[in-house]
Structure 1
Amino acid sequence: MNVTIDKNSGYCFGVEFAIQMAEDELEHEETLYCLGDIVHNRMEVERLHGLGLRIIDREQLAELHDCKVLIRAHGEPPETYELALRNNLELIDASCPVVLKLQNRVKHAYDTSTRQNGQIVIYGQPGHAEVTGLTGQTGNRAIIVMTEPDLDQIDFTRPVTLFSQTTKSTAGFYRMKQLIEERIAAAKGEIASFDANDSICRQVSNREPALRKFAELHDVVIFVSGRKSSNGKALFSVVNQTNARSYFIENEQELQTEWFLGAQSVGICGATSTPMWLMQRVADHIEQVALEVA
């Protein structure tokens, strides 16, 4: 059985940058706080916990004073920075440059649309850290949509500016764009007042066609990702649509021997939040399984 790890899978630049910053700080700090999971991968969070990284929530952040706090790649709303100033917190800001640029675009669009009685709409997962940071640029007035029923929140007779969470599906974004256009037409609104911005990270979206090709090459595909990862869910959907013998796992302990019966080739891939060391561990385990099913 041939086992291959997808060389294009694994950390995107933003996640790799955040983890490197955490590791650099922990070389000379016993403890570093991080607001929320640094990455949506339990195995990596546990590894960094062993180095001294402590995950905190917003309530715990409000109680901290005079210490260092890492801002993860997802970015944060303005009120986080205001709180840091009040509590004398030193922020180690690892916000992804792509996310920061999008935050600035959303803020500018909100300031402009407010003067035009418009609405900011974000295609994204409610409660997701990145989406929280984006809506914070609008004073939490942005409308969050994930499904068609969510569109009922929008007044289609008024201007609409649409953005996307950077890790969402490209196909999903353009489907949402089409639905909004149809609703505007039905409401007899002005289609010219609809501004759709494809703000999906190209390092993420470009993985979709590459993953389809990778999934076609193998009898069985093992997709490794944290279950909290929005990007992981989106990319696994792409893999699963291409290859029915695709399986989503969080670590090697979830592998099942029967998945590999009759398989000549196995491909291992993952999300932008999946560490390469974890995919290698899965590959090593599958090679052991191959000896059992041979």
Structure 2
Amino acid sequence: MSNNSNIKVEIDSHSGFCFGVVNAISQAEHELDNDDKLYCLGQIVHNSEEEERLKARGLITISHNDLDKLEGKKVLLRAHGEPPETYQKALKNNIKLIDASCPVVLKLQTKVREGWERMNAIGGQIVIYGKKGHAEVVGLVGQTNGNAIVIESISEVDSLDFSKPVELFAQTTKSADEYQAISQEISKRLHANLPLKAHNSICGQVANRKKELMEFSKKHDVILFVSGKNSSNGKMLCEVCKSINDRTHFVSSPQEVDEEWFLGVQSVGVCGATSTPLWLMQQVGDRVKQPS
């Protein structure tokens, strides 16, 4: 890079791992302190840099299909939560589970299960606003024996039967504004006197991030948003930054930082998703100041 040593770089103090991710990584590290390998069901975090760091310590990422081959082994369940079938399969194969499911997600799973019991009894619908196939959403749908209807946007509201009552939930990392818009649309279209019960299921740490990031994005000439490309939360929060500062750039590693972004720039803000480690944001910040 050219000489950017005079540029002020600020790392957003509110960005970085949420409690659930911190807890999962902490449990993985604790196990790896005492053993040279540990199996993890799915990506422990949607960040390839952090995954590589843990892989070097002995973390092995597996799929659900691998559970049948791991009789008697230890398997970590990450923060996203799992459907009931995963626990049943682990029991059948004598697998010792290290359950790092986020408490917020576990609480939501219980609410979805209770909601399904209510809706099933009266012919109603459980609707989940979330990303189809996302690990957390798969875990939530599992609480309804696969009967929940998953919608990814307000345009998919058309797939619902408005002659039946609805209980509505959201994946914990989705946009609160979009969730509210979906809730209002369903409520407006439900047949007369039919109830809509919309649960407040978005994680507080995620919901508060939007306002914090909007303020942070105003303070700097350029924003570097650091996130893994697979992070739903990252994509959503990066758009929040872009809505305030059009000089926002999505990067997954320091190597993706382009010196041309900083011509005539006095301040750069570095922030990230709930799946972005602080050390990676610091590396990106350091990269801005490196001479070419």
3-state SS in 1 of match to 2:34? coil
Q: TM-score, normalised by structure 1?
A: 0.96
Cα deviations across residues 149-193 of structure 1 (Å, max 9, x unaligned)?
322321111010000000001111011112212222xxx3434x1
Q: Is the Cα–Cα contact under 8 Å of residues 67 and 93 in structure 2 kept in the other structure? A: no
Contact 2:154 2:181 in 1 (8 A): no
CA distance in 2 between partners of 1:104 and 1:164 (Å)? 14
Name the residue aligned to 1:171.
177
**Counterpart residue number, 1:15:** 21
Q: CA deviation at 1:50?
A: 0.2
Q: CA deviation at 1:128?
A: 0.3
C-alpha RMSD over aligned residues: 0.9
TM-score (norm 2): 0.96
Percent identity (aligned): 52
**Residue number among 166, 189, 193 corresponding to 1:190 in the alignment:** 193
Q: Which has the higher contact order (CA 8 A, sep 6+)?
A: 2
- 1:244 maps to 246
Q: 1:277 aligns with which of 273, 276, 279?
A: 279
Distance 2:175 2:193 in 1: 27
CA contact (8 A) 1:156 1:189 kept: no
1:217 alignment counterpart: 219
1:151 maps to 2:153:
no
- Structure 2 counterpart of 1:90: 96
Structure 2 SS opposite 1:259: helix
> Are residue 75 (structure 1) and residue 81 (structure 2) matched?
yes
Task: Supply the distance in 1 between the matched residues of 2:153 and 2:169 (Cα, whole angstroms).
Answer: 15
The structure 2 residue matched to 1:267, chosen from 262, 266, 269, is 269
1:6–1:267: 8 Å Cα contact kept in structure 2?
Answer: yes
Partner of 1:37: 43
Q: CA deviation at 1:30?
A: 1.1
> What letter matches 2:240 in structure 1?
V
Task: Write out per-residue CA displacement over residues 242-273 of structure 1, whole angstroms, 9 at most, x where no aligned residue.
Answer: 10000000001111111111110000000000
Q: Does 1:234 align with 2:262?
A: no
* Structure 1 unmatched runs, 5+: none
Q: What residue number does 2:4 align with?
A: none
Contact preservation (8 Å) 1:173, 1:198: no
Shift of 1:60: 1.3
Q: Does 1:50 align with 2:52?
A: no
